[in-house]
Chains A and B, each alone.
Chain A
Amino acid sequence: MPVKSSDITPQALFMQRRRMLGLGLASLSLPLASGLFADEEELLDPDAPLSLGGQAVAVNKPITATRLDIINSYNNYYEFGFGKEDPSQAPKTLITSPWSVTVGGVGVDNPGIYDIADLHAEHDIENRLYRFRCVEAWSMVVPWNGIPLAAIIKAAKPNSKAKYVRFETLYDDKQMPNANWAGGPYIEGLTIAEAVHPLTLMATGIYDEPLQQQTGAPIRLVVPWKYGFKYAKSIVRIDLVEEMPRNTWWRQNPQEYGFYANVNPKFNHPRWSQASERVVGSFGRQKTLIFNGYADDVAYLYPDLSDRRYFY
Protein backbone atom coordinates (compact mmCIF):
# COMPACT_ATOMS: atom_id res chain seq x y z
CA MET A 1 0.00 0.00 0.00
CA PRO A 2 1.38 3.39 -0.91
CA VAL A 3 2.29 5.45 2.10
CA LYS A 4 1.33 9.09 2.17
CA SER A 5 4.03 11.38 3.39
CA SER A 6 1.54 12.82 5.83
CA ASP A 7 1.34 9.43 7.55
CA ILE A 8 4.96 9.54 8.46
CA THR A 9 6.72 11.65 11.00
CA PRO A 10 9.48 13.76 9.55
CA GLN A 11 11.97 11.91 11.71
CA ALA A 12 10.82 8.57 10.37
CA LEU A 13 10.95 9.78 6.81
CA PHE A 14 14.41 11.11 7.39
CA MET A 15 15.56 7.81 8.83
CA GLN A 16 13.95 5.83 6.05
CA ARG A 17 15.80 7.75 3.39
CA ARG A 18 18.99 7.56 5.32
CA ARG A 19 18.59 3.82 5.42
CA MET A 20 17.91 3.46 1.75
CA LEU A 21 20.88 5.57 0.89
CA GLY A 22 22.96 3.40 3.17
CA LEU A 23 21.71 0.28 1.51
CA GLY A 24 22.32 1.78 -1.89
CA LEU A 25 25.98 1.95 -1.03
CA ALA A 26 25.93 -1.55 0.39
CA SER A 27 24.51 -2.91 -2.83
CA LEU A 28 27.68 -2.10 -4.69
CA SER A 29 29.48 -4.81 -2.81
CA LEU A 30 26.56 -7.10 -2.01
CA PRO A 31 24.63 -8.02 -5.11
CA LEU A 32 22.34 -10.41 -3.22
CA ALA A 33 20.28 -7.51 -2.05
CA SER A 34 19.33 -6.41 -5.54
CA GLY A 35 15.61 -6.40 -4.75
CA LEU A 36 16.07 -3.95 -1.94
CA PHE A 37 16.78 -0.58 -3.35
CA ALA A 38 14.64 2.27 -4.34
CA ASP A 39 15.97 4.28 -7.21
CA GLU A 40 17.13 7.83 -6.76
CA GLU A 41 14.02 9.34 -8.35
CA GLU A 42 11.85 7.76 -5.73
CA LEU A 43 14.04 9.01 -2.96
CA LEU A 44 13.62 12.58 -4.05
CA ASP A 45 9.86 12.51 -4.39
CA PRO A 46 8.18 13.05 -1.02
CA ASP A 47 4.93 11.46 -2.21
CA ALA A 48 6.52 8.35 -3.65
CA PRO A 49 5.72 5.02 -2.01
CA LEU A 50 8.43 4.13 0.46
CA SER A 51 9.97 0.79 -0.23
CA LEU A 52 11.40 -0.89 2.77
CA GLY A 53 13.06 -3.92 1.37
CA GLY A 54 11.29 -6.97 0.09
CA GLN A 55 7.64 -7.40 0.85
CA ALA A 56 7.50 -4.91 3.64
CA VAL A 57 5.78 -2.40 1.40
CA ALA A 58 2.76 -4.71 1.38
CA VAL A 59 2.11 -4.11 5.06
CA ASN A 60 -1.39 -2.98 5.83
CA LYS A 61 -0.16 0.01 7.80
CA PRO A 62 2.35 2.74 7.11
CA ILE A 63 5.83 1.99 8.30
CA THR A 64 6.42 4.55 10.97
CA ALA A 65 9.47 4.35 13.17
CA THR A 66 8.58 3.70 16.79
CA ARG A 67 9.37 6.61 19.11
CA LEU A 68 12.81 6.42 20.71
CA ASP A 69 11.46 6.70 24.26
CA ILE A 70 9.24 3.67 23.61
CA ILE A 71 12.09 1.69 22.03
CA ASN A 72 14.19 2.54 25.08
CA SER A 73 11.62 1.59 27.71
CA TYR A 74 9.87 -1.55 26.41
CA ASN A 75 12.54 -4.24 26.38
CA ASN A 76 13.15 -7.90 26.97
CA TYR A 77 16.58 -8.22 28.55
CA TYR A 78 16.26 -10.84 31.27
CA GLU A 79 19.78 -10.20 32.54
CA PHE A 80 18.33 -6.90 33.84
CA GLY A 81 14.95 -8.25 35.00
CA PHE A 82 11.93 -10.08 33.57
CA GLY A 83 9.49 -7.16 33.25
CA LYS A 84 9.32 -5.06 30.07
CA GLU A 85 10.29 -1.91 31.96
CA ASP A 86 12.81 -3.55 34.31
CA PRO A 87 15.81 -3.25 31.96
CA SER A 88 15.36 0.50 31.45
CA GLN A 89 14.77 1.11 35.14
CA ALA A 90 17.68 -1.03 36.34
CA PRO A 91 20.75 0.84 37.66
CA LYS A 92 23.24 1.58 34.90
CA THR A 93 25.77 -1.04 35.91
CA LEU A 94 26.88 -2.19 32.46
CA ILE A 95 30.34 -0.87 31.60
CA THR A 96 30.28 -0.40 27.83
CA SER A 97 33.54 1.45 27.41
CA PRO A 98 36.08 0.02 26.94
CA TRP A 99 34.43 -2.94 25.24
CA SER A 100 35.95 -5.45 22.91
CA VAL A 101 34.50 -8.14 20.71
CA THR A 102 36.52 -11.28 20.08
CA VAL A 103 36.07 -12.77 16.61
CA GLY A 104 37.35 -16.32 16.40
CA GLY A 105 36.47 -20.01 16.18
CA VAL A 106 37.78 -22.82 13.96
CA GLY A 107 36.11 -21.19 10.97
CA VAL A 108 38.33 -18.11 10.78
CA ASP A 109 41.91 -17.73 9.57
CA ASN A 110 42.31 -14.22 10.92
CA PRO A 111 40.92 -14.12 14.46
CA GLY A 112 41.02 -10.82 16.32
CA ILE A 113 39.96 -8.78 19.27
CA TYR A 114 38.30 -5.56 18.23
CA ASP A 115 37.54 -2.55 20.35
CA ILE A 116 34.20 -0.96 19.53
CA ALA A 117 36.07 2.19 18.53
CA ASP A 118 38.18 0.14 16.06
CA LEU A 119 35.04 -1.37 14.54
CA HIS A 120 33.60 2.09 14.10
CA ALA A 121 36.82 3.31 12.51
CA GLU A 122 37.21 0.34 10.16
CA HIS A 123 33.65 0.03 8.91
CA ASP A 124 30.94 2.32 7.57
CA ILE A 125 27.99 2.76 9.89
CA GLU A 126 24.79 2.14 7.97
CA ASN A 127 21.25 3.19 8.80
CA ARG A 128 18.52 0.59 8.47
CA LEU A 129 14.86 1.06 9.26
CA TYR A 130 13.70 -2.46 10.12
CA ARG A 131 10.55 -4.01 11.38
CA PHE A 132 11.15 -5.80 14.67
CA ARG A 133 8.90 -8.75 15.56
CA CYS A 134 9.08 -10.33 19.02
CA VAL A 135 8.12 -13.99 19.46
CA GLU A 136 5.61 -12.69 22.04
CA ALA A 137 3.56 -11.24 19.14
CA TRP A 138 4.42 -7.57 19.51
CA SER A 139 6.38 -5.43 17.10
CA MET A 140 8.14 -2.13 16.61
CA VAL A 141 9.92 -0.34 13.76
CA VAL A 142 13.49 0.49 14.67
CA PRO A 143 15.92 2.82 12.87
CA TRP A 144 19.16 1.01 13.59
CA ASN A 145 22.69 2.22 12.99
CA GLY A 146 25.28 -0.50 12.59
CA ILE A 147 27.83 -2.48 10.68
CA PRO A 148 26.80 -5.29 8.33
CA LEU A 149 27.96 -8.50 9.98
CA ALA A 150 29.28 -9.62 6.58
CA ALA A 151 31.98 -6.93 6.75
CA ILE A 152 33.19 -8.12 10.16
CA ILE A 153 33.17 -11.76 9.04
CA LYS A 154 35.01 -10.93 5.84
CA ALA A 155 37.78 -9.23 7.83
CA ALA A 156 38.19 -12.43 9.88
CA LYS A 157 38.86 -14.46 6.69
CA PRO A 158 36.38 -17.34 7.04
CA ASN A 159 37.50 -20.79 5.89
CA SER A 160 35.59 -23.89 4.82
CA LYS A 161 34.94 -24.90 8.43
CA ALA A 162 32.73 -21.86 8.97
CA LYS A 163 29.24 -23.41 8.89
CA TYR A 164 27.59 -21.45 11.71
CA VAL A 165 28.16 -18.28 13.68
CA ARG A 166 27.86 -18.34 17.45
CA PHE A 167 27.22 -15.12 19.41
CA GLU A 168 27.90 -14.73 23.10
CA THR A 169 26.59 -12.01 25.40
CA LEU A 170 28.64 -10.63 28.28
CA TYR A 171 28.22 -12.86 31.36
CA ASP A 172 29.01 -10.89 34.50
CA ASP A 173 26.83 -10.81 37.60
CA LYS A 174 28.53 -7.63 38.79
CA GLN A 175 27.31 -5.77 35.73
CA MET A 176 23.99 -7.59 35.28
CA PRO A 177 21.78 -8.23 38.31
CA ASN A 178 20.12 -11.27 36.73
CA ALA A 179 23.08 -12.51 34.63
CA ASN A 180 22.54 -16.11 35.59
CA TRP A 181 18.86 -16.48 34.63
CA ALA A 182 19.68 -19.04 31.95
CA GLY A 183 22.55 -20.64 33.87
CA GLY A 184 25.25 -19.20 31.63
CA PRO A 185 25.87 -16.52 29.03
CA TYR A 186 23.15 -15.78 26.49
CA ILE A 187 24.01 -17.64 23.30
CA GLU A 188 22.62 -17.13 19.83
CA GLY A 189 23.46 -18.54 16.45
CA LEU A 190 23.00 -18.16 12.71
CA THR A 191 24.01 -20.22 9.72
CA ILE A 192 26.94 -18.67 7.86
CA ALA A 193 24.61 -17.80 4.96
CA GLU A 194 22.26 -15.95 7.31
CA ALA A 195 25.17 -14.20 9.00
CA VAL A 196 26.64 -12.77 5.77
CA HIS A 197 23.23 -11.81 4.39
CA PRO A 198 23.20 -8.08 3.63
CA LEU A 199 20.23 -7.48 5.92
CA THR A 200 22.10 -8.85 8.96
CA LEU A 201 23.51 -6.07 11.07
CA MET A 202 25.68 -5.59 14.14
CA ALA A 203 23.87 -2.58 15.58
CA THR A 204 25.62 -0.02 17.73
CA GLY A 205 22.95 2.68 17.74
CA ILE A 206 19.29 3.59 17.29
CA TYR A 207 18.19 6.97 15.89
CA ASP A 208 21.86 7.95 15.62
CA GLU A 209 22.25 7.58 19.39
CA PRO A 210 24.39 4.87 20.96
CA LEU A 211 22.56 1.77 22.18
CA GLN A 212 21.46 1.98 25.80
CA GLN A 213 22.07 -0.67 28.44
CA GLN A 214 18.49 -1.91 27.96
CA THR A 215 18.73 -2.12 24.16
CA GLY A 216 21.93 -4.17 24.19
CA ALA A 217 24.76 -1.67 24.40
CA PRO A 218 27.30 -1.37 23.02
CA ILE A 219 26.80 -3.84 20.16
CA ARG A 220 24.07 -6.32 19.31
CA LEU A 221 22.87 -8.56 16.54
CA VAL A 222 19.93 -7.56 14.30
CA VAL A 223 18.30 -10.14 12.01
CA PRO A 224 15.03 -8.53 10.88
CA TRP A 225 13.36 -11.62 9.41
CA LYS A 226 13.70 -13.56 12.68
CA TYR A 227 12.02 -13.28 16.06
CA GLY A 228 13.58 -10.77 18.44
CA PHE A 229 15.17 -13.31 20.78
CA LYS A 230 17.72 -14.00 18.03
CA TYR A 231 19.03 -10.43 18.36
CA ALA A 232 21.69 -11.22 21.02
CA LYS A 233 22.65 -8.14 23.01
CA SER A 234 25.91 -6.78 24.48
CA ILE A 235 28.00 -9.21 22.44
CA VAL A 236 31.56 -10.08 23.53
CA ARG A 237 32.30 -13.04 21.24
CA ILE A 238 31.52 -13.95 17.66
CA ASP A 239 32.75 -17.43 16.73
CA LEU A 240 32.60 -19.12 13.36
CA VAL A 241 32.05 -22.78 14.10
CA GLU A 242 31.30 -26.12 12.45
CA GLU A 243 28.46 -27.24 14.74
CA MET A 244 25.04 -25.65 15.07
CA PRO A 245 25.22 -23.56 18.26
CA ARG A 246 22.65 -24.44 20.89
CA ASN A 247 21.07 -21.03 21.46
CA THR A 248 19.73 -20.06 24.90
CA TRP A 249 15.98 -20.22 24.24
CA TRP A 250 16.33 -23.53 22.41
CA ARG A 251 18.16 -24.90 25.43
CA GLN A 252 15.66 -23.35 27.88
CA ASN A 253 12.54 -24.72 26.22
CA PRO A 254 13.14 -26.96 23.18
CA GLN A 255 9.40 -27.60 22.69
CA GLU A 256 8.76 -23.93 22.08
CA TYR A 257 11.97 -22.50 20.64
CA GLY A 258 14.50 -23.76 18.13
CA PHE A 259 17.47 -22.55 16.13
CA TYR A 260 16.01 -20.77 13.10
CA ALA A 261 13.09 -18.80 14.59
CA ASN A 262 12.09 -17.18 11.31
CA VAL A 263 8.91 -15.14 11.53
CA ASN A 264 5.94 -16.98 10.04
CA PRO A 265 2.29 -16.14 10.75
CA LYS A 266 1.25 -19.69 9.78
CA PHE A 267 3.33 -21.50 12.40
CA ASN A 268 1.99 -20.71 15.83
CA HIS A 269 3.85 -20.74 19.07
CA PRO A 270 2.59 -23.77 21.05
CA ARG A 271 0.73 -21.45 23.40
CA TRP A 272 -0.24 -18.47 21.26
CA SER A 273 -0.93 -17.45 17.70
CA GLN A 274 1.69 -15.75 15.52
CA ALA A 275 -0.85 -14.61 12.93
CA SER A 276 -0.90 -11.00 14.07
CA GLU A 277 1.09 -8.64 16.25
CA ARG A 278 0.58 -5.67 18.53
CA VAL A 279 2.42 -2.62 17.31
CA VAL A 280 3.86 -1.22 20.52
CA GLY A 281 2.88 2.38 21.16
CA SER A 282 -0.19 2.33 18.93
CA PHE A 283 -3.69 0.87 18.99
CA GLY A 284 -4.86 -2.30 17.36
CA ARG A 285 -3.01 -5.21 15.79
CA GLN A 286 -1.62 -5.85 12.34
CA LYS A 287 -1.17 -9.05 10.39
CA THR A 288 2.25 -10.64 10.65
CA LEU A 289 4.08 -11.26 7.37
CA ILE A 290 6.17 -14.30 6.51
CA PHE A 291 9.84 -13.57 7.21
CA ASN A 292 8.55 -10.37 8.84
CA GLY A 293 8.08 -8.84 5.40
CA TYR A 294 11.57 -9.67 4.07
CA ALA A 295 10.61 -12.82 2.14
CA ASP A 296 11.84 -11.50 -1.21
CA ASP A 297 15.29 -11.09 0.27
CA VAL A 298 15.66 -14.17 2.44
CA ALA A 299 13.21 -16.90 1.38
CA TYR A 300 15.87 -18.49 -0.86
CA LEU A 301 17.80 -19.42 2.29
CA TYR A 302 15.05 -21.85 3.32
CA PRO A 303 14.25 -24.40 0.60
CA ASP A 304 11.22 -25.97 2.29
CA LEU A 305 8.71 -23.44 3.62
CA SER A 306 6.57 -26.22 5.09
CA ASP A 307 9.39 -27.34 7.38
CA ARG A 308 8.42 -26.32 10.90
CA ARG A 309 12.06 -26.35 12.04
CA TYR A 310 12.61 -23.07 10.24
CA PHE A 311 9.84 -21.28 12.08
CA TYR A 312 10.22 -21.65 15.82
Chain B
Amino acid sequence: MQIKRLARLFNVLLLVFVVWQFELSLKAPDTVTELRDMSGRMASYLLLLSLLFTPASHLWPSLRVYVPLRRYVGLWAFTMALVHLLVWVSLEFNFDWLLMWQETTDNLFIWMGLIALLLLLPMALTSNRKSSGRLGYRRWQALHSLTYVALPLALGHYLMAQKVATGEPVVLLVVLVLVMIWRFKHAR
Protein backbone atom coordinates (compact mmCIF):
# COMPACT_ATOMS: atom_id res chain seq x y z
CA MET B 1 0.00 0.00 0.00
CA GLN B 2 1.16 3.52 -0.73
CA ILE B 3 2.45 5.26 2.35
CA LYS B 4 0.14 8.24 1.88
CA ARG B 5 -2.92 6.03 1.79
CA LEU B 6 -1.65 4.14 4.79
CA ALA B 7 -1.21 7.42 6.66
CA ARG B 8 -4.77 8.41 5.79
CA LEU B 9 -6.06 5.04 6.98
CA PHE B 10 -4.10 5.42 10.23
CA ASN B 11 -5.54 8.88 10.83
CA VAL B 12 -9.10 7.76 10.18
CA LEU B 13 -8.73 4.73 12.44
CA LEU B 14 -7.29 6.84 15.23
CA LEU B 15 -10.02 9.43 14.86
CA VAL B 16 -12.65 6.70 15.11
CA PHE B 17 -10.87 5.30 18.18
CA VAL B 18 -10.77 8.73 19.86
CA VAL B 19 -14.46 9.36 19.15
CA TRP B 20 -15.28 5.93 20.59
CA GLN B 21 -13.22 6.74 23.71
CA PHE B 22 -15.05 10.06 24.13
CA GLU B 23 -18.31 8.20 23.83
CA LEU B 24 -17.21 5.77 26.56
CA SER B 25 -16.15 8.67 28.79
CA LEU B 26 -19.61 10.19 28.57
CA LYS B 27 -21.02 6.97 30.02
CA ALA B 28 -18.45 6.77 32.84
CA PRO B 29 -19.57 7.71 36.37
CA ASP B 30 -17.16 10.63 36.32
CA THR B 31 -16.87 11.89 32.75
CA VAL B 32 -14.34 14.61 33.57
CA THR B 33 -11.85 12.26 35.21
CA GLU B 34 -12.35 9.71 32.46
CA LEU B 35 -11.73 12.23 29.66
CA ARG B 36 -8.70 13.60 31.47
CA ASP B 37 -7.14 10.20 32.12
CA MET B 38 -8.03 8.71 28.74
CA SER B 39 -6.40 11.55 26.80
CA GLY B 40 -3.30 11.46 28.99
CA ARG B 41 -2.92 7.72 28.62
CA MET B 42 -3.36 7.89 24.86
CA ALA B 43 -0.69 10.57 24.58
CA SER B 44 1.74 8.35 26.53
CA TYR B 45 1.05 5.28 24.39
CA LEU B 46 1.41 7.22 21.14
CA LEU B 47 4.67 8.86 22.22
CA LEU B 48 6.09 5.48 23.11
CA LEU B 49 4.88 4.09 19.78
CA SER B 50 6.71 6.92 17.97
CA LEU B 51 9.95 5.77 19.60
CA LEU B 52 9.55 2.20 18.36
CA PHE B 53 9.90 3.07 14.65
CA THR B 54 13.69 3.34 14.66
CA PRO B 55 14.50 0.15 16.57
CA ALA B 56 11.82 -1.77 14.65
CA SER B 57 13.15 -0.73 11.26
CA HIS B 58 16.67 -1.69 12.34
CA LEU B 59 15.58 -5.12 13.46
CA TRP B 60 13.33 -5.67 10.41
CA PRO B 61 14.65 -3.49 7.58
CA SER B 62 11.53 -4.14 5.50
CA LEU B 63 9.57 -1.99 8.01
CA ARG B 64 11.67 0.99 7.06
CA VAL B 65 9.07 2.18 4.53
CA TYR B 66 6.64 2.85 7.38
CA VAL B 67 8.87 5.38 9.13
CA PRO B 68 6.98 8.35 7.58
CA LEU B 69 3.95 7.26 9.63
CA ARG B 70 5.84 8.30 12.74
CA ARG B 71 5.01 11.93 12.02
CA TYR B 72 1.29 11.24 12.43
CA VAL B 73 1.84 9.19 15.57
CA GLY B 74 3.74 12.12 17.05
CA LEU B 75 1.14 14.67 16.01
CA TRP B 76 -1.64 12.57 17.52
CA ALA B 77 0.38 12.26 20.73
CA PHE B 78 0.71 16.04 20.87
CA THR B 79 -3.01 16.50 20.13
CA MET B 80 -4.06 14.11 22.89
CA ALA B 81 -1.66 15.77 25.35
CA LEU B 82 -3.25 19.10 24.42
CA VAL B 83 -6.75 17.63 24.94
CA HIS B 84 -5.52 16.35 28.33
CA LEU B 85 -4.44 19.87 29.32
CA LEU B 86 -7.63 21.48 27.97
CA VAL B 87 -9.87 19.05 29.87
CA TRP B 88 -7.92 19.87 33.02
CA VAL B 89 -8.17 23.63 32.48
CA SER B 90 -11.81 23.74 31.41
CA LEU B 91 -13.82 20.81 32.74
CA GLU B 92 -11.77 20.11 35.86
CA PHE B 93 -10.76 23.63 36.94
CA ASN B 94 -13.49 25.60 35.19
CA PHE B 95 -10.87 28.24 34.18
CA ASP B 96 -10.19 29.07 37.83
CA TRP B 97 -6.61 30.23 37.17
CA LEU B 98 -5.87 31.06 40.81
CA LEU B 99 -6.90 27.62 42.02
CA MET B 100 -4.97 26.03 39.14
CA TRP B 101 -1.87 27.97 40.14
CA GLN B 102 -2.24 26.91 43.80
CA GLU B 103 -2.66 23.27 42.80
CA THR B 104 0.27 23.42 40.39
CA THR B 105 2.70 24.92 42.87
CA ASP B 106 1.87 22.10 45.28
CA ASN B 107 2.09 19.29 42.75
CA LEU B 108 5.44 18.32 41.26
CA PHE B 109 3.71 15.91 38.93
CA ILE B 110 1.70 18.72 37.30
CA TRP B 111 4.93 20.57 36.52
CA MET B 112 6.32 17.41 34.97
CA GLY B 113 3.28 17.07 32.73
CA LEU B 114 3.35 20.74 31.70
CA ILE B 115 7.06 20.60 30.84
CA ALA B 116 6.51 17.41 28.83
CA LEU B 117 3.78 19.13 26.81
CA LEU B 118 5.95 22.23 26.27
CA LEU B 119 8.72 20.00 24.91
CA LEU B 120 6.29 18.42 22.45
CA LEU B 121 5.29 21.80 21.04
CA PRO B 122 8.46 22.57 18.99
CA MET B 123 8.41 19.01 17.68
CA ALA B 124 4.79 19.33 16.57
CA LEU B 125 5.58 22.64 14.86
CA THR B 126 8.55 21.20 12.95
CA SER B 127 7.07 17.84 12.04
CA ASN B 128 6.75 18.62 8.33
CA ARG B 129 9.38 17.91 5.70
CA LYS B 130 9.97 21.59 5.01
CA SER B 131 11.08 22.22 8.59
CA SER B 132 13.55 19.38 8.56
CA GLY B 133 15.01 20.87 5.33
CA ARG B 134 15.21 24.31 6.84
CA LEU B 135 16.76 23.20 10.12
CA GLY B 136 19.13 20.75 8.53
CA TYR B 137 18.66 17.09 9.27
CA ARG B 138 21.10 16.94 12.20
CA ARG B 139 19.57 19.83 14.06
CA TRP B 140 16.08 18.60 13.27
CA GLN B 141 16.98 15.16 14.62
CA ALA B 142 18.50 16.68 17.77
CA LEU B 143 15.33 18.70 18.32
CA HIS B 144 13.15 15.65 17.90
CA SER B 145 15.16 13.56 20.32
CA LEU B 146 13.42 15.76 22.94
CA THR B 147 10.90 12.93 22.98
CA TYR B 148 13.42 11.06 25.11
CA VAL B 149 13.02 13.81 27.72
CA ALA B 150 9.30 14.40 27.29
CA LEU B 151 8.20 10.79 27.61
CA PRO B 152 10.04 10.02 30.88
CA LEU B 153 8.52 13.22 32.30
CA ALA B 154 5.07 12.22 31.07
CA LEU B 155 5.37 8.73 32.54
CA GLY B 156 6.68 10.13 35.84
CA HIS B 157 3.64 12.44 35.83
CA TYR B 158 1.38 9.42 35.24
CA LEU B 159 2.99 7.31 37.99
CA MET B 160 2.99 10.07 40.59
CA ALA B 161 -0.64 10.96 40.04
CA GLN B 162 -1.75 7.49 41.18
CA LYS B 163 -2.41 6.37 44.71
CA VAL B 164 -0.69 3.05 44.06
CA ALA B 165 1.41 2.30 41.01
CA THR B 166 -0.72 0.24 38.64
CA GLY B 167 0.89 -1.96 36.00
CA GLU B 168 0.17 0.32 33.06
CA PRO B 169 2.67 3.18 33.52
CA VAL B 170 5.24 0.72 34.83
CA VAL B 171 5.00 -1.39 31.65
CA LEU B 172 5.28 1.76 29.51
CA LEU B 173 8.32 2.82 31.52
CA VAL B 174 9.99 -0.59 31.11
CA VAL B 175 9.47 -0.47 27.32
CA LEU B 176 10.87 3.07 27.26
CA VAL B 177 13.97 2.02 29.21
CA LEU B 178 14.53 -0.90 26.82
CA VAL B 179 14.24 1.41 23.80
CA MET B 180 16.66 3.88 25.39
CA ILE B 181 19.18 1.14 26.15
CA TRP B 182 18.89 -0.09 22.60
CA ARG B 183 19.36 3.40 21.18
CA PHE B 184 22.37 3.98 23.36
CA LYS B 185 24.05 0.79 22.15
CA HIS B 186 23.03 0.87 18.51
CA ALA B 187 22.31 3.17 15.64
CA ARG B 188 22.68 6.73 16.69
Contacts and interface: CB of A to CB of B under 8 A. Distances in A.
B93 A285 contact: yes
Contacts of A82: 164, 166
A278 B29 contact: no
Given A272-B107, A272-B109, A280 B30 contact: yes
A273 B105 CA distance: 9
Interface stretch (B39-47, B96-104, B120-128, B143-151): B96-104
A74 B37 CA distance: 15
Given A273-B102, A275-B106, A285 B96 contact: yes
Contacts of B109: 271-272
B14 interface: no
Contacts of B102: 273, 275-276
Contact of A280 (B29, B91, B99, B161): B29
B22 to A, nearest CB: 16
A276 B99 contact: yes
The winner among B29, B30, B96, B109 for most chain A CB atoms within 10 A is: B29
B30 A74 contact: yes
Interface string B129-171: 0000000000000000000000000000000110110100000
B28 interface: yes
A281 B91 CA distance: 11
B58 to A, nearest CB: 37
A281 B29 contact: yes
Nearest to B164: A82
B23 interface: no
Contacts of A138: 30, 33
A138 to B, nearest CB: 7
B29 A85 contact: yes
Interface residues of A, number: 24
A273 B29 contact: no
B91 A283 contact: yes
Nearest to A82: B166
A284 B106 contact: no
A217 to B, nearest CB: 18
A135 interface: yes
Interface size class of B (residues with CB under 8 A): 20 to 34
Contacts of A276: 99, 102-103
Contacts of B163: 135-136
B29 A74 contact: yes
B32 interface: yes
Contacts of B99: 275-276, 285, 287
A73 B103 contact: no
A27 interface: no
Contacts of A70: 29-30
Contacts of B103: 273, 275-276
B116 to A, nearest CB: 17
B91 A273 contact: no
A308 interface: no
Contacts of A284: 91-94, 96
A16 B167 CA distance: 41
A271 B33 contact: no
B169 to A, nearest CB: 13
A278 B109 CA distance: 17
A69 interface: yes
B29 A73 contact: yes
A178 to B, nearest CB: 12
A94 to B, nearest CB: 20
Contacts of B166: 82
Interface in A206-255: 252
Nearest to B93: A285
The winner among A69, A85, A138, A283 for most chain B CB atoms within 10 A is: A283
A84 interface: yes
Given A275-B99, A278-B32, A280-B33, 16 more contacts: A69-B29, A70-B30, A271-B109, A271-B161, A272-B161, A273-B102, A273-B107, A275-B103, A276-B99, A276-B102, A278-B30, A278-B33, A278-B92, A283-B91, A283-B94, A285-B93
Interface of A: 69-70, 73-74, 82, 84-85, 135-136, 138, 252, 268, 271-273, 275-276, 278, 280-281, 283-285, 287
24 contacts: A69-B29, A70-B30, A74-B29, A74-B30, A82-B164, A84-B33, A85-B29, A138-B33, A268-B106, A271-B109, A272-B109, A273-B103, A275-B99, A275-B106, A276-B102, A278-B33, A280-B29, A280-B33, A281-B29, A283-B91, A284-B93, A284-B94, A285-B99, A287-B99
